[in-house]
């Protein structure tokens, strides 16, 4: 079975309630229908009721217990959501009138459903930008108390029969934190390792990536990575992590044997931590567009409850996969 097939099967073993903030988009509707029919999740589609119902009908489905519609302009919950948003944001100067308007915004409405326990997680970003999607999640759901920061990762499903013998990897942070300091880089590594365990069901082996391997170059950018590795060794000694490593030394055993002798991670890494967003974003897109990997994300980590972002170029299958990811995250947080 493919890694994504296994992911969906594991999600179906413990389905959750996921709210989709862009219920009028046909890709969202198709992906949600597939997730509901596969038993992965119970879905609420947020949007204008008649428009969403028409999309469901066009896709051969109808509103029901597993495919509900929530219209922020008519919902019985909107007033309570406006009050809750005011309580959250009044210290930033947000008025009650502005809160009422925000509660009718689909992203905020969906995030508030999660915050107040009406749903287990939310997915958006097929229409809205990443900044809009993440802003709603941060303002409404908020950072988990135990998390030093909110970051992101991509689940990279490698092509079947890849010569590396691996079927999937975690790449972080490729979508959110622009220039992490050493402490933040270490925190991203810890969160990404936990996400590897949650989603792939395998022990994480974390590589802190650089343009240098084990002192082959000297630069402040290299020092940041080695400082992050030292923080991990001090604060998380049970985590299998190493750095600084070039990507080939982290991924290819033969290169690791030449460049990083004695490393238990080099050549075996399944969690790749990039030193900044430039490297991470470029790296995952090269792996996707040239290497043929399927990229699921950006998946957010460090939030109090799950909220995830889709690419605006996503397909219906991407939507179903992200729903499965969000279900597994929700299960891990219960």
Residue from 43, 126, 106 nearest 327 by CA: 43
User: Are 157 and 283 part of one and the same domain?
Assistant: yes
User: Are 208 and 312 part of one and the same domain?
Assistant: no
Task: Provide the domain limits for residue 182.
Answer: 151-289
User: Are 22 and 138 part of one and the same domain?
Assistant: yes
Q: Look at residue 108 and tell me if it is in a domain.
A: yes
User: Are 27 and 114 part of one and the same domain?
Assistant: yes
Q: Strand 151-157 and strand 294-301: pairing?
A: antiparallel
User: Are 270 and 155 part of one and the same domain?
Assistant: yes
- Stated pTM of the model: 0.90
User: Are 188 and 254 part of one and the same domain?
Assistant: yes
Could you report the per-residue pLDDT of 309-329, keeping only the tens digit for each? Answer: 998 888 999 999 999 999 999
Name the token pair of 6.
């296994």
What is each CA distance from 318 to 218, 299, 307, 310, in whole angstroms?
A: 40, 12, 15, 8
User: Are 217 and 254 part of one and the same domain?
Assistant: yes
86 band by pLDDT with thresholds 50, 70 and 90: very high
Could you report the per-residue pLDDT of 57-67, keeping only the tens digit for each? Answer: 999 999 999 99
The answer, yes or no, to whether residue 165 has pLDDT greater than 80, is no
Q: Look at residue 77 and tell me if it is in a domain.
A: yes
User: Are 78 and 164 part of one and the same domain?
Assistant: no
Q: Look at residue 212 and tell me if it is in a domain.
A: yes
pLDDT average, residue stretch 244-264: 93
The predicted pLDDT at position 1 comes to 53
CATH number of the domain within which 322 lies: 3.40.50.10950
The predicted pLDDT at position 130 comes to 87
User: Are 278 and 178 part of one and the same domain?
Assistant: yes
User: Are 282 and 177 part of one and the same domain?
Assistant: yes
User: Are 194 and 277 part of one and the same domain?
Assistant: yes
Radius of gyration of the chain (CA): 21
Could you report the per-residue pLDDT of 149-161, keeping only the tens digit for each? Answer: 999 999 999 988 7
Count the domains in the chain. Answer: 2
d(CA 143, CA 115): 11
Sequence-ordered alpha helix ranges (H) in the chain: 3-12, 26-37, 49-58, 78-89, 96-103, 106-115, 130-136, 182-200, 220-235, 247-251, 253-259, 277-289, 316-333
CATH number of the domain within which 251 lies: 3.40.50.10750
Name the token pair of 139.
């303002």
Q: Look at residue 298 and tell me if it is in a domain.
A: no
User: Are 91 and 218 part of one and the same domain?
Assistant: no
Report the chain's mean pLDDT, rounded to a whole number: 94
Q: Look at residue 295 and tell me if it is in a domain.
A: no
């Amino acid at each position: 079975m493919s890694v994504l097939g296994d992911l969906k099967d594991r999600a179906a073993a413990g389905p959750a309630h996921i709210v989709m903030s862009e219920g009028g988009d046909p890709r969202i509707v198709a992906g949600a229908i597939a997730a509901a029919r596969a038993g992965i999740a119970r879905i609420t589609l947020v949007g204008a009721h008649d428009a969403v119902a028409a999309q469901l009908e066009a896709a051969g489905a109808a509103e029901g217990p597993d495919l509900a519609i929530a219209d922020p302009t008519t919902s019985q919950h909107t007033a309570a959501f406006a009050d809750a948003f005011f309580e959250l944001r009044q210290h930033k100067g947000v008025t009650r009138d502005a809160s009422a308007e925000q509660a009718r915004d689909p992203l905020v409405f969906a995030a508030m459903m999660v915050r107040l326990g009406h749903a287990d997680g939310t997915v958006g970003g097929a229409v809205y930008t990443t900044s809009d999607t993440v802003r709603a999640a941060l303002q409404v759901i908020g950072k988990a108390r135990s998390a030093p920061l909110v970051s992101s990762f991509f689940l990279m499903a490698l092509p079947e029969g890849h010569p590396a013998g691996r079927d999937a990897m975690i790449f972080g942070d490729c979508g959110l934190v622009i220039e992490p300091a050493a402490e933040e880089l270490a925190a991203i590594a810890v969160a990404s390792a936990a996400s590897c365990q949650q989603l792939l069901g395998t022990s994480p082996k974390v590589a802190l990536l650089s343009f240098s391997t084990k002192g082959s170059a000297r630069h402040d950018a290299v020092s940041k990575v080695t400082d992050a590795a030292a923080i991990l060794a001090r604060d998380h000694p049970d985590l299998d992590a190493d750095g600084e490593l070039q990507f080939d030394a982290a991924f290819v055993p033969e290169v690791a044997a030449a460049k990083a002798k004695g490393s238990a991670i080099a050549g075996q890494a399944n969690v790749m931590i990039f030193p900044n967003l430039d490297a991470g974003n470029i790296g995952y897109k090269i792996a996707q567009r040239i290497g043929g990997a399927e990229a699921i994300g950006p998946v957010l980590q460090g939030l109090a409850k799950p909220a995830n972002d889709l690419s605006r170029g996503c397909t219906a299958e991407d939507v179903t996969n992200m729903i499965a990811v969000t279900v597994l995250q929700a299960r891990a947080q219960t």
